[in-house]
Structure 1
Amino acid sequence: MAKLSADDEELRRACEAVIDGKEKVVVAIRVSKSRGIWGKPGKLGRQMAKPRVLALAIAARSKGQNAKAFLRVLKYSTGGVLEPAKLYKLKHLTKVEVMNNDPSGCTFMLGFDNLRSQSVAPPQWTMRNTNDRNRLLLTILNVHKDVLGRLPKVVGIDVVEMALWAKENTPTVTRITAQRNFPDGPVAAAITESDLKVTVEKELVSQVEEEDIEALVGPYVMGINEAEAFSERLKRELLALEAANVHAILENAPLIQEVLQGLEVATYCVEDMDEWLGIFNLKLRHMREDIASIEIRNNKLEMQSVNSESLIDELDKLLERLRVPSEHATCLTGGSFDEANMAQNIEACEWLTSALRGLEVPNLDRSYANMRAVKEKKTELQKLRSTFVRRATEFLRNYFASLVDFMISDKSYFSQRGQLKRPDHADLRYKCRTYARLLQHLKTLDKNCMTPLRKAYCSSLNLLLRREAREFANELRASTKAPRNPTVWLEGLGQSANSSDTSNVSDAYAKMLIIFIPLLVDESSFFAHFMCFEVPTLVASGGISNATRNVSHDDDNDDDDLGIMDIDDNDGKTGKSSAELEVLNESLQELLDGIQEDFYAVVDWAYKIDPLRCISMYGITERYLSGQKADAAGFVRRLLDDLQSRISVQFGRFVDEACHQIERNERTLRQTGVLPYIPRFATLATRMEQYIQGQSRVLVDQAYSKLINIMFLTLEKIAQADPKYTDIILLENYAAFQNSLYDLANVVPTLAKFYHQASEAYEQACTRHIGIIIYSQFERLFSFNQKIEDLLYTVSPEEIPFQLGLSKMDLRKMLRSSLSSVDRSISSMYKRLQKYLTSDELLPSLWDKCKKEFLDKYESFVQLIAKIYPNESIISVDEMREYMASM
């Protein structure tokens, strides 16, 4: 009796728990799953076996429906827990095969008719022993018979062996519940052990086979003791049957001979047929080779045909590139450059440019570039280009010269006597714009041709600009009414000579800039674009910067936009290399060189009339200079820089001359009172401030510093000539300097600095002069005071009265001689102060300073006497203040 450890209740319950109790598990057995190989039954592939659990389950249906049986495959998860792997419906089971390549007989395979892929070998299931195998297979067969009413095909296992095993292991078969079909409907029937036995026998041995077995065994029914006799009898009958078979064979020998002869004839026929088939096979092979060769040749011919068509197309395209249109050839080699023919010339240039680019390697396949026809055509196009560039260059050079010659020959273009005329180049630029696009194409065809064209344009237009500037400057000076005598500010002339109005001089210079600076900027911008310099836009439309517009708002604005587009793919560029800009500035230098002389002439003319007008002209130039920001207008900026420098130099000459006039006072005879250049400088500074009018102060402040330093230095030298009057000259002139520049010093920082310097010098001179006057009147008094102060450093105050010359008797003598007539002494001090002053305006302030200084000294003397000579009587400070106040 075999143990049922594999089919225990615990495994069945675990399986039912996995399927949620929806089905009744009849049997559950642990197996190993492996994959067989079709056509190779000898290899089981046990090394790939996987542990599985096969569970046979029955699902009960509701009333009127049959029960369904399932074969479930369960696997173990990572945690050793059962989980569903695969589900087979038992109604699709068609075959149960025990593998004969497993000697143990424990491996079998279940075949289902609904597997999707029949090319993959079905899985093979291996049991641990034959008891488990028989139990599982027997249960599957019984359920298949009871539920479905039929049996699958059984291969590789003896049915009798299965029946015998079932009989021996009947007590171990588990009771199952199946759904059977009865007339009254499906009812549950318990399959007993005896029923199971009958069921197995009926399934394994049919009724017909059972009857045959009974008929065979029936005549030989005997006891167990007759077995040997039965065996002997069977042997005899076997020998008899074998002899009968031999006899039958011998009787059929002629037939066999005929069969053999027929087989031999068939063999000959087969050999002939094999020979013929070999011949046919050889011929077919040769035919196959011929067909393949024909196909190869046909493919080559077809490919050659396609390539020939493509080659013809490419050659047609190449020939189209190489063809030179007759109308373009005629225009390039001998066409006219008149304005009416420029459209044709431009079209020919565009074609020539495109043709040359089309023959270059990036646009033309590299294999074509080495073709003789392409090289010859490229040479022909280069000759056309050289011819056209030479003709166009020669025409444009003559054309520029003719335009300028025509304008120069017509005097109406220039300023005439009594009439200032603004230069107008609108017609000149309009005629030049006709050839602007031609110049761009010339630059694309040959950059080297631009240099002579630029030089020709610059040299021609330079003549016109210089003539216009010269005529305009001459008429501007002739029509400006201004005093002809130069003004001498710091020598010889009085205030009345400086009152003439010279504003029209600086207005004339401003008009020169208003007319010509925008013109020069416009010409620079037009030249840069017209001559195809790759630089940023110079100025806004109209050609005048914002600063220039503010000055020349009443002038007309010319639209100098060329109205053309770049043709050499430079639209997106915002700047070019410094080399390109340097070439442009060199060309502008050649275009505008020489015109600065007429500007210089206006500056020199204005300087001769009124040197102070350099201040106004400097400010005007500075405003224009701040408005020139474009790099390509470099010449205009240099011109303004040069004008500013020249104005500075001219004004510097005026300042130097003024300084020379101031220094000449040093070499004259003895000077007294206020020097003449002090009030004249105040007038000069006032006029200079009027000319500044909110402009830059650099030029004027430098002049102030230089003039005042020279003035102060000359004043010091003149004052040192006579030491007796040094302080008087200094204080009077420094006071005059302060009085004359008081108002200007409050608003001009530079003058304020020198005002404070003069104030300090004035105070020092006053202190020295007052000290001399006081000391001259009270010499004994303050000498006695000085002796006491000197001895106090070495002698105690109590011992001072016992020193030589400082006794009380000496003190009384000194007081009697110095203070006995103090009112006369104070009056003499006032008269002496008044005597040496040339300006009475300074006397009150000086006398106040003198009284204050004397009282301070006397108060110090009184305190010292009270300390050294406590019992001596002396005029008190209050009494002395009353004396001073009474004067």
Structure 2
Amino acid sequence: MTAIKHALQRDIFTPNDERLLSIVNVCKAGKKKKNCFLCATVTTERPVQVRVVKVKKSDKGDFYKRQMAWELRDLAEVDAKDASKENPEFDLHFEKVYRWVASSTAEKNSFISCIWKLNQRYLRKKVEFVNVSSQLLEESVPSGESQSVAGGDEDALDDYQELNAREEQDIEGMMEVCEYAISNAEAFAEKLSRELQVLDGANIQSIMASEKQVNILMQLLDEALSEVDTIEGKLSSYEEMLQSVKEQMDQISQSNRLIQISNTNNGKLLDEIQFLVNYMDLSKGHIRALQDGDLSSPKGIEACINASEALLQCMNVALRPGHEKLMAVKQQQHLFTELRDTFARRLTNHLNNVFVHQGHDQSSTLSQHTAELTLPKHSPLHRDLLRYAKLMEWLKNTQREKYDGLSRTYVDYMTRLYEREIKDFFEVAKIKMAGTTKEGKGNKFGLHGSSGKLTGSTSSLNKLAVQGSSSRRSQSSSLLDMGNMSASDLDVADRTKFDKGEVESDGGVPSRQPPPGEHRHSMKDMVRLMMNKIFQSIETELNSLIALGDKIDSFHSLYMLVKMSHHVWTAQNVDPASYLSTTLGNVLVTVKRNFDKCISGQIRQMEEVKISKKSKVGILPFVTGFEEFAELAETIFRNAERRGDLDKAYVKLIRAVFMNVEKVANESQKTPRDVVMMENFHHIFSTQSRLKISCLETERREAKHKYTDHLQSYVINSLGQPLEKLNHFFEGVEARVAQGVREEEVSYQLAFNKQELRKVIKEYPGKEVKKGLDNLYKKVDKHLCEEESLLQVVWHSMQDEFIRQYKHFEGLIGRCYPGSGITMEFTIGDMLEYFSSIAQSH
């Protein structure tokens, strides 16, 4: 066991600054035997800590390891099981009970004795030893192995220490002298024992020699022990006094703690009272305002607003837990509820009366505004109502049912007021629109048979350009720029009257600007619903007015499309979901439908045009109709938002014009097809070049191409072969050349010799040529119309074609009859003079 103790001290406890005082070999009771060691240790540093350490061999068995440790101060009880009989079992009560079985009773007793001594020396809290003999606790453990392990007394515990370096060196030197010290430990131990006995004998002799000094020393020790007992007595009395002081201090501390708790509670109670007084107290002035405040005067309304907000703040205060159980709080809440209900009734009755009075307001009638065609202003009414905005908001937050009832009352009476005014307004607008209109003749700007004319003139269109819709008004100035419209069957400029009127209105529902966020959206939705009810007749009346305007003249849809689109665009920029934006958007759908119907009507009229079989065609009516439509539309749609709609209509109309021009040209009997195509496409090309409509650039080029082609075709077909026999002669010459006859040998052909050529040329003297050209001029003049002024253009083209044929004949004569001296009876100069004199004579 000594060797084990030494090994444990060296390997486990010395590195942890601990000293091993006692050791016992144990195993757990009632389980498979697994031996371990319980060690009693103390630290080498102050303050001293005493532990019980469980040490176990490693699984490989070559070294020991520290498995568990308990502080001795945590030991509650040591149970030795039996105080009178030898028994190796014992229990140690820490946080739980550990039951052990020692390898021998001696080791167990030695270990328990060491624990008792450590407890007596180092612990104020004494461990309870059960079933342990008093002799074991009072006396030292007998000599032997146990003595060497546990020590004999408390001094032994303190005096035990490790070997110092010098002592280890001496022991190593001694072991080197005795070579058998390692191989024969028993012999070495006997040798050491003998030497120890010799030394003990020498010591005893020395002690006996100094007996007198020993006796003196013992006497001094006795005196010291007596002094120690005296000091211990005083220390005990001091300890009792300190214990009394400690108890008194504990009582004082407890008393101070109670006082502090009381002060804290009083402070919290004061805070609660101040909270209730500050947030649940309504001034007498506010109470008077809620009960009897004047809801008609500005000062009275302001006082009621302040009082209602203060009341709402008191009612909405967040009470802390337990407040609702206080009688004072209940009384205040009951008072607040009565004040709220009383004021809500007063406010509801007063506003009901205000709404009824405003709903029957007759102070401003439409008859006073017929000159400028504007709705009556209700700004004074709105200003009166805006004073109650905060009170209405308070009513909405506190008495939602009363608020909803008031809203319904307001909507009901305002609906009656505005419905009456709106109806009167649109009646006046309709009268003004149709007041100067003559008996309806359908679409007066439509296409009327073969006359080929839209009513109106270039001068009136110039007026239109000045009076048109180029100046755009903002939404704030008008609801719809209509009214004061008097159409005329004789003047295009009358249409502009449809574009002059202005309808002014002050809106309807007065409301404050709502705060941002979700509440703002809900406020907008509520206002929109109210406006839908109040102004429910606006959309119907607008559609009725638009239908009347369309009935008077379908071209009014152009003005309406531009104006309504502008108002919708302006309203949507302010708020895309507003009531005005939605209503005007719905009306715009109707206007767009009328516009599309107008375009379809124009196309249908093109298809239904009938041309007289007895007179020449000239410029077709729908061609001039498209020209005047384009001039009118360009004036109306200048800088308009819905330009795209007009461009689409242009494309539809021009394609219909192209198709129906060809249709009429194919059906024409009096006028040649080429003339119909040439004149009309020349007119279309001129119109598009003048107006510069970008979306019709492709059609402009196509019109030019058609005009040029049909001009050339007409010239060739009309001019024909003015020198017919000469033409036939040279056609035969070209045929011979084509068959392989060389050009210079053609004159040797019998039918095409020089003699035959001279005969043919003599049949076309200058006088006959001029006569034929004069007849041709008269024929062309009959075909062409005066409006387009293409006669000189056609005549000049015929001149060019005649000269081309003349030069062709001269070239054939030069190549096929070289050196013959044969020439035409007239020259190019003569021919130019013929064409010029004929043109001037007519």
| TM-score after normalising by structure 1 | 0.53
Deviation at 1:858, TM superposition (A): 3.4
1:603 aligns with 2:546: yes
Aligned to 1:433: 386
Q: Does 1:302 align with 2:259?
A: yes
SS in 2 for 1:411: coil
Give the match for residue 511 of structure 1.
502
Q: For residues 405 and 452 of structure 1, what CA distance do their matches in structure 2 show?
A: 13
Give how far 1:270 is off: 6.3
AA aligned opposite 2:363? S
Verify: 1:413 aligned to 2:357, yes or no.
Answer: no
Q: CA deviation at 1:827?
A: 3.1
Residue identity in the other structure for 1:716: E
- Shift in CA distance, 593/668, structure 1 to aligned 2, threshold 3 Å: farther
Equivalent position to 1:771, from 709, 716, 720: 716
| Counterpart among 597, 605, 630 of residue 574 in structure 2 | 630
Moved more, 764-773 or 585-594: 585-594
Using a 3 Å threshold, how does the CA distance of structure 1 residues 652 and 601 change in structure 2: closer, same or farther?
Answer: same
Change (3 A) 1:436 1:832: same
Counterpart Cα distance in 1 of 2:273 and 2:232? 61
- The corresponding residue for 1:527 is 511
Aligned: 1:358 with 2:317: yes
**TM alignment of 1:549-560, pairs within 5 A:** none
Q: Out of 453, 467, 473, which is 2:426 matched to? A: 473
Q: What residue number does 1:316 align with?
A: 273
Residue 403 to residue 580, structure 1, CA distance change in 2 (3 Å): closer
What residue number does 2:657 align with? 711
DSSP-derived class of the 1:594 partner:
helix
Deviations 1:426-482 (A, max 9, x none): 232223223211233345558898777656544543443332222222234435653
Gap regions ≥5 residues in structure 1: 1-256, 536-572
3-state SS, counterpart of residue 595 of structure 1:
helix
Q: Measured at CA, do residues 788 and 339 of structure 1 come closer, stay the same or move farther in structure 2, by a change above 3 Å?
A: farther
Structure 1 Cα separation of the partners of residues 548 and 715 of structure 2 = 52
Local SS of the residue matching 2:827: helix
Alignment of 1:837-876 (within 5 A): 837-839=783-785, 841-864=789-812, 866-868=814-816, 870=818, 874-875=822-823
| Alignment pair present for 1:657 and 2:593 | no
Secondary structure at the residue paired with 2:502? helix
Q: Paired residue for 2:321, among 351, 364, 369?
A: 369
Distance 1:411 1:815, change over 3 A: farther
- Give the corresponding residue for 1:464: 417
Which residue pairs with 1:483 in the alignment? 437
Change (3 A) 1:768 1:694: same
Distance 2:244 2:613 in 1: 144
The residue aligned with 2:840 is none
Q: Which amino acid in structure 1 is aligned with residue 791 of structure 2? A: L
* Deviation string, structure 1 residues 356-413 (Cα, Å, up to 9, x no partner): 5531xxxx6xxx4377628996999599679948984x87777666545434434333
Question: In structure 2, what is the equivalent of residue 820 of structure 1?
Answer: 763
| Counterpart amino acid of residue 357 in structure 2 | F
Identity fraction in percent? 15
Kindly indicate whether the alpha-carbon contact (under 8 Å) linking 1:785 and 1:861 is maintained by their aligned counterparts in 2.
yes
Larger radius of gyration: 1
RMSD between superposed Cα atoms in Å? 5.1
**In structure 1, distance between residues paired with 2:724 and 2:404:** 93
Looking at structure 2, the residues matched to 342 and 620 of structure 1 have their Cα atoms a distance apart, in angstroms, of: 44
8 Å Cα contact 1:708/1:754 also seen in 2: yes
Contact 2:675 2:783 survives alignment (8 Å):
yes
Q: Go from structure 1 to structure 2 and tell me whether the alpha carbon gap of 1:449 and 1:781 turns closer, same or farther (over 3 Å shift).
A: farther
On the 8 A contact 2:681/2:706 being kept in 1, the answer is: yes
Quick check: 661-670 or 425-434, which moved more? Answer: 661-670
Counterpart Cα distance in 1 of 2:511 and 2:734? 89
Going from structure 1 to structure 2, the CA distance change for 1:858 and 1:776 (only over 3 Å counts) comes to closer
1:748-787 to 2 correspondences below 5 Å: 757-778=702-723, 781-782=726-727
Counterpart of 1:527, as a letter, is S
> What's the secondary structure of 1:485's corresponding residue?
coil
Counterparts in 2 of 1:250-261, with a 5 A limit? Answer: none
Equivalent residue letter for 1:851: Q
Say whether residues 1:673 and 2:627 are aligned partners.
Answer: no
Deviations 1:123-180 (A, max 9, x none): xxxxxxxxxxxxxxxxxxxxxxxxxxxxxxxxxxxxxxxxxxxxxxxxxxxxxxxxxx
Q: Distance in 2 between matches of 1:811 and 1:400?
A: 119
The amino acid of 2:537's aligned partner reads: G
Question: Aligned residue pairs: how many?
Answer: 568
1:189-211 alpha-carbon deviations (Å, 9 max, x no partner): xxxxxxxxxxxxxxxxxxxxxxx
Q: Could you say if the C-alpha distance between residues 657 and 718 of structure 1 is closer, same or farther in structure 2, counting changes exceeding 3 Å?
A: same
- Structure 1's 347 and 408: CA in aligned 2 closer, same or farther, altered over 3 A? closer
CA contact (8 A) 1:662 1:711 kept: yes
Is 1:593 equivalent to 2:536 in the alignment? yes
Matched letter for residue 466 of structure 1: E
1:288 is aligned to 245
Tell me what 1:730 maps to: 677
Give me the whole-angstrom Cα distance separating, in 2, the residues matched to 1:580 and 1:690: 42
| Cα offsets for 1:58-99 (capped at 9, x unmatched) | xxxxxxxxxxxxxxxxxxxxxxxxxxxxxxxxxxxxxxxxxx
Q: Does the C-alpha gap of structure 1 residues 300 and 765 become closer, same or farther in structure 2, counting only changes over 3 Å?
A: same
Q: Which amino acid aligns with 1:286?
A: Q
Measure the CA separation in 2 of the matches of 1:305 and 1:713. 107
TM-score, normalised relative to structure 2: 0.55
Query: Could you say what secondary structure the match of 1:666 adopts?
Result: coil
CA shift in 2, pair 1:699/1:851, >3 Å = same
The 5 Å alignment of 1:141-290 reads 274=231, 277-278=234-235, 280-290=237-247
Distance 1:752 1:293, change over 3 A: closer
Shift in alpha-carbon separation, 1:637–1:271, aligned structure 2, 3 A? closer
After superposition, the Cα gap between the structure-2 partners of 1:619 and 1:300, relative to the gap in structure 1 and judged at 3 Å, is same
Q: CA deviation at 1:737?
A: 5.4
Q: Deviations over 1:226-253 (max 9, x none)?
A: xxxxxxxxxxxxxxxxxxxxxxxxxxxx
Q: 1:627 to 1:722 in 2, by over 3 A?
A: closer
Residues 873, 450 of structure 1: alpha-carbon distance in 2 compared, 3 angstrom cutoff: farther
Q: How far did 1:665 drift?
A: 2.0
SS at match of 2:272: helix
Matched residues in 1 for 2:704 and 2:790: separation?
14
Residue in structure 2 matched with residue 121 of structure 1 by the alignment: none
